[in-house]
Amino acid sequence: MNYPGLEAFGHDPWWLILIKAVGVFVFLLLTVLVAILVERKVLGRMQMRYGPNRVGPFGLLQSLADGVKLALKEGLTPAGVDKPIYLLAPVIAAIPAFMAFAVIPMGPVVSMFGHATPLQLTDLPVAVLYVLAVTSIGVYGIVLAGWASGSTYPLLGGLRSSAQVVSYEIAMALSFAAVFLYSGTMSTSLIVGSQTHTWYVFLLLPSFVVYVTAMVGETNRAPFDLPEAEGELVGGFHTEYSSLKFAIFMLAEYVNMTTVSALATTMFLGGWHAPWPLSLWDGANTGWWPLIWFVAKVWGFLFFYIWLRATLPRLRYDQFMAMGWKVLIPVSLAWIMTVAVTKWLRMHGSGPWTTTAINVGFLALVALVALRRLRRNKQRRNRNRMIPPTPPDDGAFPVPLLPDRKPSKEKAHVQIA
């Protein structure tokens, strides 16, 4: 099996690097077009209605029609905007989403035009940190879009959206620490190679759950789509954008969804490795077949996004932020300590049963704390329900008299006086 290491990169001719870069770009664009159509189709079926079915056969050209419609719309620029930053903000939001895919391994070493090359644009010893650094730049696009619009509501929406993204980036980064401890590397290709026999979704289930929750919040998707909430008028930070500028923001959202799905596949689902029982076939992880398994896993996460949007209601902003700071981050920190202890014990001769016992104990402790918190909240709600509301004081503030009420004698004297 041709597992690429760090030594496999940096030797391709320039034209092959260009072909792979264009291939990644085209793959992301086609994934966005198909994802928009599939989302509308699947949402329609889940909500017992038809999705797009007018443009083209079975509505298959709906995404193309939407793109043409946005391109032909008049691009309005409000009078009070900071024009250079206003035009630059969508670009800042979109470019990092494409750049992050440069270190995602999509397959093993294959033969391309007579050259042996890995199905990955490049790799770094700290590739995962590169992804986190690049994706965090996209926050500037959100902040600058809200600030440069010259309006109060986009500014407030940009601040809320940036706080949301920054908060969940912390939980996302902490979920990777356990993977680094198990694999011993931050290189994406080596992390995939370390999952040959067992995927990390089974060994590091709490990290996987934290990451999946954080990636939904990171990409502003339902039930965490607060920029699209009713209180944000139209779209929060991009309220003042239209035509192609709005299309770039929409493109950045779907490319980010694809990127975090590919990163989840790489870190926890074995990357391009074939799932069982397909992995029993000797040729499942050779040639171009792994590209199919990788795309299938990415689309599994994209379907999960769509399923959440059709199922869960939107959270309040305080609930969303409390989940990130009071639940995901503390659980991630405790889980990292647990993984470090089990890794140290395994290095000093402890058996697999030690890891299993400690992990089961951690999960039981988290479940116990969650149940106790739920019971406490339920008791508090019942206590508040039993306490009758305090009647308003008539003299606390002036209240106009209702037609069927007469003023008391004391109030009548006051009014006469």
**Residue ranges per structural domain of the chain:** 9-277+284-379
Q: What is the arithmetic mean of pLDDT over 160-177?
A: 90
Structure tokens at 56: 């083209």
Q: Which residues contact 4 (CB under 8 A, 6 or more apart)?
A: 105, 108, 109, 118, 120, 123, 189
Q: What is the C-alpha separation between 154 and 146, in angstroms, rounded?
A: 5
pLDDT at 106 over 90: yes
Residue 397: pLDDT band by 50, 70, 90 thresholds? low
Q: What is the C-alpha separation between 394 and 157, in angstroms, rounded?
A: 40
Residue 296: pLDDT band by 50, 70, 90 thresholds? very high
Q: What is the arithmetic mean of pLDDT over 221-247?
A: 80
Q: What is the C-alpha separation between 221 and 252, in angstroms, rounded?
A: 12
pLDDT at 71 over 60: yes
What pLDDT, on the 0 to 100 scale, is given for residue 401? Answer: 66
Residue 301: pLDDT band by 50, 70, 90 thresholds? very high
φ/ψ of residue 192, rounded to 5: -65, -40
Residue 132: pLDDT band by 50, 70, 90 thresholds? very high
Label residue 386 exposed, middle or buried (CB < 10 Å: 0-12, 13-18, 19+).
Answer: exposed
**Percent of the chain surpassing pLDDT 70:** 91
What pLDDT, on the 0 to 100 scale, is given for residue 344? Answer: 87
Mean model confidence pLDDT for the chain? 87
What pLDDT, on the 0 to 100 scale, is given for residue 354? Answer: 79
Q: Which residues contact 123 (CB under 8 A, 6 or more apart)?
A: 4, 6, 8, 9, 103, 105, 187, 188, 189
Q: Which residue has the higher pLDDT, 366 or 233?
A: 366
pLDDT at 262 over 80: yes
Q: What is the arithmetic mean of pLDDT over 133-161?
A: 89
Tell which residue, 133, 264, 297, has the closest CA to residue 188: 264
Tell which residue, 341, 286, 312, has the closest CA to residue 217: 312
Single-letter residue type at 178: A
Q: What is the C-alpha separation between 201 and 199, in angstroms, rounded?
A: 5
Structure tokens at 388: 């009758």
Q: What is the C-alpha separation between 410 and 395, in angstroms, rounded?
A: 11
Asked whether 183 and 191 are in contact (CB, 8 A), the reply is yes
Residue 400: pLDDT band by 50, 70, 90 thresholds? low
What pLDDT, on the 0 to 100 scale, is given for residue 2? Answer: 59
Q: Which residue has the higher pLDDT, 407 or 136?
A: 136
Q: Where are the beta strands (DSSP E) in 106-263?
A: 109-112, 115-118
What pLDDT, on the 0 to 100 scale, is given for residue 1? Answer: 56
φ/ψ of residue 268, rounded to 5: -125, -25
Q: What is the C-alpha separation between 104 and 128, in angstroms, rounded?
A: 9
φ/ψ of residue 226, rounded to 5: -65, -30
pLDDT at 50 over 60: yes
Q: Hey, how many other C-beta atoms are within 10 angstroms of the C-beta on 247?
A: 19
Q: What is the arithmetic mean of pLDDT over 152-160?
A: 86
Over the stretch 347-396, which tens digit does the pLDDT of each residue have? Answer: 887 777 777 888 888 889 888 988 998 888 888 888 777 767 666 665 66
φ/ψ of residue 64, rounded to 5: -65, -40
Q: What is the arithmetic mean of pLDDT over 223-244?
A: 78
